[in-house]
């Protein structure tokens, strides 16, 4: 009998598979389809201080082996998330969840994380300093080591929960950013968020996305994500949540060999709402095929 469990900071996960923020709503929407308690955890929809409608439409563009999205952090705001979304999710999901927090200024990050820290259901905070879908703030924190350090340090001062910082691949050196976050007190890092991409409509000769550019995700980005997880693993001594194009149990194992302790599944959920469940079902079969008894034993095994 294989063991799929992993220890992610203070959170014990039955398996390393976590739906990525922005691709799984607040979780309870999927409870109509299957028992979501099979999931290792859930990274909830990205949350900001104030409610956000998001970017103008169209927000989605299809690509070869992936898609581009420019949703723009549409969410009801931190207070509504705490008052309504988390209690609703708690009706269907018994495990701790991950709060994905975004913002446009350090004080906004601090306020949201301070509120999230008081919620028992939240087992971990994922600080999104990497979203490319907003015009100001957001991305700039994740492309500068100094800015990443400052926002991480400020949030670290107001939360006792495990703090993971979600990193952008659109930085000159993702390893340098990861090191800065570790020095500022981060308990771990999540990578990668989406790459920047765009599509042009050949009939109108205009960009498909109203925002022109958006976040490119899907199977096409997996080799890039894998390379970055590998590099960051060699640069820091804190755990990694790996993501980017993961769509199979084999991808999960490959990502863990590169250095990930847990693995988030993003765009695959948008294509198939059963993606995470299918990967979890496949994982023990793939492990047995590869002679892996304890999944945690392979973390960083490719180094």
State the Cα angle at 9 between 88 and 79, rounded to 5°: 30
Ramachandran angles phi, psi of 62, nearest 5°:
-80, 150
Give the separation between CA 129 and CA 139, rounded to whole angstroms.
Answer: 6
**Strand order across the 122-128 sheet:** 17-19, 262-265, 240-243, 188-191, 163-166, 122-128, 97-101
How many Cβ atoms from other residues are within 10 Å of residue 45's Cβ?
Answer: 22
The H or E element spanning position 251 is helix 249-258
How many Cβ atoms from other residues are within 10 Å of residue 287's Cβ?
Answer: 20
Asked whether the beta carbons of 129 and 174 are under 8 A apart, the reply is: no
- The active-site residue, picked from 112, 113, 131, 181, is 131
DSSP-assigned letters across all residues of 75-114: B--HHHIIIIIHHHHHTT--S-EEEEE--SSHHHHHHHHH
List Cα–Cα distances, 94 to 40, 123, 268, in angstroms. 11, 12, 24
Residue 63 bears catalytic tag? no
Asked whether the beta carbons of 48 and 73 are under 8 A apart, the reply is: yes
Asked whether the beta carbons of 2 and 284 are under 8 A apart, the reply is: yes
The dihedral over CA atoms of 19, 24, 26, 32, expressed in degrees to the nearest 10, equals -110
- 72 torsion bin: left (phi>0), alpha (psi -120 to 50), beta (else): left
Active site residues: 131
């Amino acid at each position: 009998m294989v063991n799929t469990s992993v220890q992610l900071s203070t959170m014990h996960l039955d398996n390393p598979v976590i739906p990525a923020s922005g691709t799984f709503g607040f979780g309870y929407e999927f409870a109509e389809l299957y028992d979501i308690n099979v999931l290792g955890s859930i990274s909830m929809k990205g949350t900001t201080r104030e409610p956000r409608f998001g970017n103008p439409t169209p927000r989605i563009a299809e690509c070869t082996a992936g898609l581009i999205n420019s949703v723009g952090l549409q969410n009801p705001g931190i207070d509504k998330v705490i008052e309504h979304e988390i209690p609703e999710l708690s009706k269907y999901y018994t495990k701790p969840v991950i709060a994905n927090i975004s913002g446009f200024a350090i004080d906004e990050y601090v306020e949201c994380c301070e509120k999230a820290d008081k919620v028992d259901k939240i087992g971990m905070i994922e600080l999104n300093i990497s979203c490319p879908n907003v015009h100001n703030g957001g991305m700039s924190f994740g492309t500068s080591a100094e800015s990443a350090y400052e926002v991480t340090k400020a949030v670290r001062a107001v939360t006792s929960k495990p703090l993971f910082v979600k990193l952008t691949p659109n930085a000159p050196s993702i390893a340098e950013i990861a090191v800065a976050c570790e020095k500022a007190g981060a308990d771990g890092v999540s990578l990668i968020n989406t790459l920047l991409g765009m599509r042009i409509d050949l009939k109108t000769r205009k960009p498909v996305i109203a925002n022109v550019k958006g976040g490119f995700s899907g199977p096409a980005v997996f080799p890039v994500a894998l390379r970055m997880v590998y590099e960051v693993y060699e640069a820091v001594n804190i755990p990694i949540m790996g993501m980017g194009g993961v769509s199979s149990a084999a991808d999960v194992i490959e990502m863990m060999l590169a250095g990930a302790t847990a693995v988030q599944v993003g765009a695959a959920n948008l294509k198939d709402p059963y993606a995470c469940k299918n990967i979890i079902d496949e994982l023990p079969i793939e492990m047995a095929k590869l002679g892996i008894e304890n999944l945690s034993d392979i973390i960083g095994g490719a180094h």
